[in-house]
Amino acid sequence: MASMKEINLRIKSISGTRQITKAMELVAISKLSKARERIDRTRPFYTELYSALSDVAAAVSPLDTGFCRKGDIKRRCIVVIAGDRGLAGGYNSNVFRYFDENAGDNPLVLPLGKRAVEHFERRGFELISDEYMSVEDIDVGDCFEISRLLCKMFLDGEFDCLSCVYTNFVSMLGQEPAELRLLPLDKELISDGSAPKFTLVEPGAGAVFNSIIPDAVAGLLWGAVCESFASELASRRTAMESATSNADDIIADLRLKYNKARKSSITQQITEIVSGAGAEQ
Amino acid sequence: MAEFHLKILSPDGVFFDGSAKQLSLRSVDGDVSILAGHIPYLTAVGIGECRVYTDGDEPRRAACCGGLLNVTREGVFLAPTTFEWAENIDSDRAEAAKQKALDRIASPKSDAQKKLAQIKLQRAELRIKVAGTRK
């Protein structure tokens, strides 16, 4: 059996770790409630936006705008949203695994979040930008900037398919990585199969689409960022909660061992004293 | 007067979800007004004042920039990039933004930046104007 001193040291170190995990859990909980509010605010916006876009897709003809170019996909571009930090359970690795399964050959990558930037840099992917190191600090304005950049690259033909890998916030306990197709705008892609409806488009289809599509892409990206950030926090909360309870278990176990060691050492001392006294008589 | 269902949603949240009699706003091409029974219509929203008429004669006014307006048989959907009701506009901030944009236009670092500053100036002036309509 380990000595009392050793056990005591381990208890101390585990208590320290427990304090950290508990603190991280509390931080995640408080941030999470804000992030969930943000989701509640933005969700109606981008679900409506997505259905409006499918109306747009039904009304559009490939001649009107470069955004619904048809043809083989030669190069894909994927926006990957992961976390800024680790210690969030499988959050980051789930996103990366999902990416590996679905990305195809040699895509262009725009990573958002420190973990994503580091991961794709290390793996030697071609990155569009590595300046979005913090998902937490990305705001709507950044999404518009990203969207303008990506739409311009798309029209210049640098890639012919744009999608976004993010994590869907299903509930506090379940978050799923998912892919959102953004460009090209494609009838088969987002239309629900109903007959195309007539829609008057003013001033002209081309002008309208070129102006609204970057906005719409930005809106959808913003939605994905909000979902991902809330997922990261929920995932961290769960991971830290179980780490804290594991620490509690280990500490309880060590306390038991410590007390056993203490008891046996006292017993031994008494035996020694008693036998010493007996020898003197 | 006939009413229609109007939804105004921006990334900042839900601004309006209910019946309205008339919606007037500025598209990229000029001012438009939507009444009930409008044919399906799609346009890009410019930078301008948006007026929503519900009950009474006085509309609710807002500063509305960018995004899209989609009129379907089911209702009207406005998804602006930014949207602020007149009563919520921070006039001091708008003045500050205007000044900043003017400074930027006076000494632009690049053409793109100048263009961006001009748009920002337009937005700030709109917000000041809309804020002025409130009582």
- Looking up tokens 């990229």 gives B28
Residue A141's pLDDT band (cuts 50, 70, 90): confident
Mean pLDDT for A240-245 is 94
* DSSP per position, B1-26: ---EEEEEEETTEEEEEEEESEEEEE
pLDDT value of position A191: 46
Domains B4-87 and B90-132 share a fold: no
Alpha-carbon dihedral A262, A264, A266, A272, rounded to 10 degrees: -150
Token pair belonging to A143: 């999404």
Contact at CB, B42 and A59, closer than 8 angstroms: yes
Residue in the structure block whose two tokens are 């909660």: A241
Mean pLDDT of all residues in A36-58: 81
Report pLDDT for A26. 94
The more confidently predicted of residues A66 and B93 is: B93
Q: Is the confidence at residue A129, as pLDDT, over 50?
A: yes
CATH architecture of B4-87: Sandwich (2.60)
From chain B, the residues in CB contact with A197 under 8 A are: 40, 72-73
| Residue in A44, A211, A215 closest to B9 by CB | A44
A86-98 pLDDT tens trace = 888 888 999 999 9
Interface of A to B at Cβ within 8 Å reads 41-42, 44-46, 48-49, 52, 55-56, 59, 140, 143-144, 197-203, 207-208, 211-212, 215-216, 218-219, 222-223
Partners of A81 in the β-ladder: A112
pLDDT at A198: 67
Query: Per-residue pLDDT tens for B42-92?
Result: 888 888 889 898 887 788 888 888 888 888 888 899 988 888 888 888 888
Please answer whether residues B84 and B93 qualify as being in contact, where contact means their C-beta atoms are separated by less than 8 angstroms: no
Q: What is the pLDDT of residue A260?
A: 93
Assigned CATH topology for domain A40-239? Pyruvate Kinase; Chain: A, domain 1 (3.40.1380)
So what's the pLDDT on residue A136?
Answer: 84
Average pLDDT, chain A: 85
- What confidence tens digit (pLDDT) does each residue in A9-24 have? 999 999 999 999 999 9
pLDDT cut 90: percent of chain A above it: 35
The encoded tokens of residue A260 equal 């056993």
- pTM of this prediction? 0.82
The top-scoring range by mean pLDDT among A14-23, A129-138, B95-104 is: A14-23
For range A101-111, the mean pLDDT: 84
Mark yes or no for CB contact B28/A56 under 8 Å: no
Q: What is the pLDDT of residue A2?
A: 67
Instruction: Say what the pLDDT of residue A267 is.
Output: 94
Q: Please report, for residues A114, A189, B27, B114, the alpha-carbon distance to residue B120 in angstroms, rounded to integers and kept in the order given.
A: 31, 35, 17, 10
- Could B40 and A198 be called an inter-chain contact, meaning their C-beta atoms sit closer than 8 Å? yes
User: So what's the ipTM on this one?
Assistant: 0.77
Task: Supply the DSSP string of A147-188, one letter for each residue.
Answer: HHHHHHHHHTTS-SEEEEEEEEE-SSS-EEEEEEEEES--HH
Residue type at position A17: T
pLDDT for A158 equals: 84
Interval A161-217: pLDDT, tens:
888 999 988 888 888 888 888 877 765 544 444 555 667 777 777 777 777 888 888
CATH architecture of B90-132: Up-down Bundle (1.20)
Write down the pLDDT at residue A190: 47
- Flag whether residue B12 sits within 8 Å of chain A, measured between CB atoms: yes
Q: Which two tokens stand for residue A156?
A: 């210049």
Structural domain spans, chain A: 40-239
The per-residue pLDDT for A69 is 66
Higher-confidence residue of B11 and A266: namely A266
In chain A, pLDDT over 70 holds for what percent of residues?
88
Confidence of residue A60 (pLDDT cuts 50, 70, 90): low
> Which among A211, A213, A220, A229 is the top mutation candidate for probing chain B, defined by the most B β-carbons within 10 Å of its own β-carbon?
A211
Residue B84 contacts A, CB cutoff 8 Å: no
Domain ranges of chain B: 4-87, 90-132
